[in-house]
Amino acid sequence: MSTIAMGHAGAEAAPAEKKGLWSWITTVDHKRIGILYGVTAFLFFLLGGLEALLIRWQLGAPDKTFLSPEAYNQLFTMHGTTMIFLGVMPLSAMFFNYFIPLLIGARDVAFPRLNAYSYWVFLFGGLVLNSSFLFNAAPDMGWFAYANLTSKQFSPGLNVDFWIIGLQILGIASLAAAVNFFVTIINLRAPGMKMMRMPMFVWMSLITQVLLLLAFPIITVALVLLMLDRSFGTHFFVPSGGGDPVLWQHLFWLFGHPEVYILILPAFGVVSEILPVFSRKPLFGYAAMVFSGCFIAFLGFGVWSHHMFSTGMGPMADTVFSLGTMLIAIPTGVKIFNWIGTVWGGSIQYKTPMYFALGFVAMFIIGGLSGVMHASPPADLQQTDSYFIVAHFHYVLFGGSIFALTAGAYYWFPKMTGRMLSESLGKVHFWLMFLGFNLTFAPMHILGLNGMPRRVYTYSAGMGFEFWNAVETAGSLILGFSFLIFIWNILKSLKSGEVATADPWHGATLEWSIPSPPQEWNFAVEPTVDGRDPLWELRRARGGTLPEPARVSGKGIHLPSPSYWPIVTAFGTALTLVGFLMHVTLWVILLGVAITMLGIFSWAFEPADH
């Protein structure tokens, strides 16, 4: 029998919340850091969306001059980079931060101050990357930055340097966070929560951390080599000195393909939490879901060259990477079928989170199927670098990740804020987003197959691309508008939304056993679990209803103290790398290193307790 403290008797008045800017700057509470991640990432996401709308406006009609070629190239590069590194990844990190400890019954992550450090480094990285706009030197060579276009000879400006340094800073944040969450999940599970009892979101998060730990070092090294080429005159990717631009492609996709799963696996996890709750039955095929996730991640490291079929690798390499890629369709299919198995025979509650989760399943199927098509090199030789690919990965990343993360936002908003999001606005949001999304991205399949290449700032009249591009632009406006409704919903609900109970959805997992929003220590009494859906088991044992958990004083609960050393150390880290950006300015680098060392030492010797 699970022991989960509910309706704590003799509850005392909760102490006043810590308030003010300083409390946010020095916070080490995983929930606050989660909110910081969420707000920051959402703002970056909106910026990336704005970039997308400008791109779409330019492409709405042939031969438009709304954007100059240079501006367009900066915008599409920054759109991709922003959405991946500053949008989807940190939005996932919001859920990692806020919910991994809650889902596994812990009071915080393993290293609260390291967690704060990750956030601040991420913030500084995002700011450095976007500050390039102020210097009119935003990265303009695509998020993949293929050599040798990135060499000093062909990209003399600071554009590429901003990209390198921005990504390096962000990579440090990702790696620090990955160590933290990996250890948290392995070591801080509540008593009784065996690995095979963890909520699916936690499992998918765990796999994501492993991918981060193994993939980010590769791009870090690749970026270092590129920086050395540009700033110190080496020739790693410069043909005139014997370097090979194709090596960059290998290194980039060795990182880049696992990165795709870093973006989608958390989404799989979110949906796997939501579908059971709103179908009122457990996740179908739990073990199959776990193993298919592991299998996808494992294969994800062996298929990078399917991004490079058009480079002419030879028939053997093409065959091997093609078959490997097709294999990934199998565990992915297993996941989709198990999601359908979850809703099958259920009693589906059509709440907004369920709308988005089901939208995810429906759209992800399309992205998966088009993916199988270009797993075949002959088909890919026509499809690669065409709008067909743009359609494919938007069905996976938007139809997949963004739909799922939005589902997660509607699902967990009550827990995070204590307020429900409006259901009616939520459904308007869903239908507009669904419509806008499909109008924007479905026609890209047609355009791609009919010869429209990617990354073009315009196209000529007479190529036949006019009609569908106009439709896509109209769709993108609807899509953009749907997010205005989302923002309105958030602001309105924060102010006057229905007050959320601890468990508004009749959830199955531990976060619903504590007040909304949770108190600083999460669990007044450490829970123990003996099943996969601990709260459902408890509810059954208690005859169907659970008392509302009370807020308690938390006297005697040990919590880590706030600290400003994480932000200091993060600043030092970012400054060191900015020194490299500024044409290798030695004093800036040394100052950065000094601040970082000061931060680390002060951090290490700072008393952790009050």
Residues 389-448 touching another protein, rule: CB under 8 A, are 445-446
Is the Cβ–Cβ distance between 222 and 248 less than 8 Å? yes
Q: Out of 38, 80, 199, 377, point to the residue binding another protein (CB under 8 A).
A: 377
Q: Say whether the peptide bond before residue 148 is cis (omega within 30 degrees of 0).
A: yes
User: Quick one: which of 5, 224, 470, 582 contacts another protein (CB under 8 A)?
Assistant: 224
Counting contacts by CB under 8 A, is residue 337 touching another protein? yes
56 alpha carbon, distance to own chain's centre: 23
Phi/psi for 89 (5° steps) reads -60, -50
Alpha carbon distance 116, 180 (integer Å): 11
Of 249-268, binders to another protein (CB under 8 A) are: 251, 254
Q: Does 531 bind another protein (CB under 8 A)?
A: no
Per CB under 8 A, 543 contacts another protein: no
Distance in Å, CB of 491 to another protein, minimum: 31
**Residue 216 engages another protein in binding (rule: CB under 8 A):** yes
Closest CA relative to residue 174, chosen from 217, 127, 133: 217
Question: Closest CB to another protein among 179 and 294?
Answer: 179
State which residue, 267 or 490, has the beta carbon closest to another protein: 267
In three state form, how does the secondary structure of 52-84 look?
HHHHHHHHCCCCCCCCCHHHHHHHHHHHHHHHH
Q: Looking at 39-47, 48-56, 360-368, 421-429, which segment touches another protein (CB under 8 A)? A: 360-368
Give Cβ neighbours of residue 257 (< 8 Å, ≥ 6 apart). 300, 301, 303, 304, 306, 307
Residue 55 C-beta: closest distance to another protein, Å? 12
The interface region with another protein, picked from 15-23, 341-349, 395-403, 413-421 by CB under 8 A, is: 341-349
Distance between start and end Cα atoms, the chain: 36
Write down the least CB distance from residue 205 to another protein, Å.
14
H-assigned helices in 387-422: 387-396, 403-417
Sole binder of another protein in the list 259, 318, 503, 511 (CB under 8 A): 318
- Range 471-530, binding another protein (CB under 8 A): 526
Asked whether the beta carbons of 278 and 341 are under 8 A apart, the reply is: no
**Nearest 5°: CA angle at 204, between 203 and 209?**
100
At which residue do the structure tokens 């065409």 appear? 386
What's the CA gap between 211 and 264, in Å, rounded? 12
The smaller minimum CB distance to another protein, of residues 108 and 128, is found at 108
Closest contact distance (angstroms) between CB of 187 and another protein is 4
Whether cis (ω within 30° of 0) applies to the bond prior to 517 is yes
Q: Is 549 in the site for another protein (CB under 8 A)?
A: no
- Rank residues 127 and 593 by Cβ distance to another protein and give the closer one: 593
The count of other CB atoms within 10 Å of the CB of residue 564 is 16
Query: What string marks each residue from 174 to 213 as x (binds another protein by CB under 8 A) or -?
Result: -x--xxx-xx--xxxxxx-x-------------------x
**Residue 147 lies near another protein (rule: CB under 8 A):** yes
* CA trace torsion 372, 378, 379, 381 (10° rounding): 120
Instruction: Report 451-480 residues binding another protein (CB under 8 A).
Output: 451-460, 462-465
# chain residues binding another protein, by CB under 8 A: 146
**Shortest separation between residue 462's beta carbon and another protein, angstroms:** 7
In contact, 142 and 183? CB cutoff 8 Å:
no
Bridge partners of 453, per DSSP, are 386
Q: Report the residue from 23, 136, 156, 350 that binds another protein according to the rule CB under 8 A.
A: 350
Please identify which residue in 344, 491, 541, 553 interacts with another protein, judged by CB under 8 A.
Answer: 344
| Closest to 458 in 3D by CA, of 117, 52, 60 | 60
With CB under 8 A as the contact rule, the residue among 373, 477, 582, 588 that binds another protein is: 373
Determine, following the binding rule CB under 8 A, whether residue 234 of this chain makes contact with another protein: yes
The answer to whether 148 contacts another protein (rule: CB under 8 A) is yes
Q: Give CA–CA dist 21/30, Å, rounded.
A: 16
Distance CA 230, CA 162 (A): 12
In angstroms, the CA 97 to CA 208 distance is: 13
How many other C-beta atoms lie within 10 A of the C-beta of residue 418? Answer: 17
Q: Which of 75, 202, 218, 391 binds another protein (CB under 8 A)?
A: 218
Site string for another protein, 32-71 (x = CB under 8 A): ------------------------------------xxx-
Considering the rule CB under 8 A, would residue 303 count as an interface residue with another protein?
no
Question: What are 364's two structure tokens?
Answer: 């992800």
Closer of 149 and 435 to another protein (Cβ): 149
Smallest distance, another protein to C-beta of residue 23, A:
19
Residue 382 binds another protein, judged by CB under 8 A? yes
Residues 551-580 that bind another protein (CB under 8 A): 558, 560
CA atoms within 13 A on the CB side of 407: 31
Tokens 């393909």 correspond to: 257
Least distance to another protein, CB of residue 234, Å = 4
Q: Is 603 in the site for another protein (CB under 8 A)?
A: yes
Instruction: Supply the minimum distance, in Å, between the C-beta of residue 496 and another protein.
Output: 26
Binds another protein by CB under 8 A, chosen from 82, 384, 401, 422? 384
The residue from 113, 230, 257, 306 that contacts another protein (CB under 8 A) is: 113
Is the distance from CB of 529 to CB of 197 less than 8 angstroms?
Answer: yes
For position 159 contacting another protein by CB under 8 A, the verdict is no
Interface with another protein, residue 79, by CB under 8 A = no
